Amino acid sequence: MLSKDKKKVINHCKEFIDILDNTEELNRLIDIQTTEFEVLANMAKVLVEENATTAIDQADYRTRYEALEKKYQAEQANLDNLLSERNRKVAQKSAIEVFIKSYTKLPELMTEWSDQVWMTMIDRVLIYVDGKMKFVFKSGSTVSV
C-alpha cells in the first residue's frame, strides 16, 4: 500500500525533514539558556568567594546560596530539555533519511518477506482487540489493515 505513490511519500518525508532541520529557534533558546546558566554559575562563585573573604551573616549566605542553587537547577533542567528536543529532531531527521534511502530501492510490489525492509521502514505496529492493525512507518506515515 505504501509503494503505490512513492513520489508523494518521498515529498511528504522531505517536508518532515525540512521541519526537523529548522533548529534556529531551538539553537537561539539554547544560547540564551546557556548564557543564563553561566551567569548563575558566576553569581554562585562570587557569593562563595565573598563568604570566604568577608565576614557575612551565615544564615543570609545560606539563603542566598540556596536560592541561586535552586534557580541554577531549574535553568539546568530547562537547558537539558532544549538539548534533548534538538537531539530528538536530529535523530528523527536521520531516521527519515534512512527510510527514504531504503524506500526508493523497494520494488512496486513486494512478493517475499524482508527483515531488512521491516527494520528500516517500520517504527511500530499497533494491534487492536478487534484484529485490526496499524503500521507506523519511520517516515511518520501510517497504514491500517
Specify the pLDDT at position 110: 65
Specify the pLDDT at position 87: 94
pLDDT tier for residue 89 given thresholds of 50, 70 and 90 = very high
Confirm whether 115 is domain-assigned.
no
Confirm whether 133 is domain-assigned.
no
Specify the pLDDT at position 77: 94
Confirm whether 49 is domain-assigned.
yes
Burial state string for 103-123 with b = 16 or more CB within 10 A and e = fewer than 16 = beeeeeeeeeeeeeeeebbee
52-73 pLDDT tens trace:
998 889 999 999 999 999 999 9
Confirm whether 131 is domain-assigned.
no
Confirm whether 112 is domain-assigned.
no
Overall number of domains in the chain = 1
Range of the domain at 20: 6-106
133-142 pLDDT tens trace:
998 877 677 8
Confirm whether 46 is domain-assigned.
yes
Q: What is the mean pLDDT of the chain?
A: 86
Are 92 and 20 within 8 A, CB to CB?
yes
Question: Which of 76, 83, 72, 99 is CA-nearest to residue 17?
Answer: 99
Confirm whether 125 is domain-assigned.
no
Mean of the pLDDT values across residues 95-117?
74
Which residues are paired to 142 by β-bridges? Answer: 136
Confirm whether 96 is domain-assigned.
yes
* pLDDT above 90: percentage of residues in the chain: 49
Specify the pLDDT at position 82: 95
Specify the pLDDT at position 12: 82
Are 10 and 103 within 8 A, CB to CB?
yes
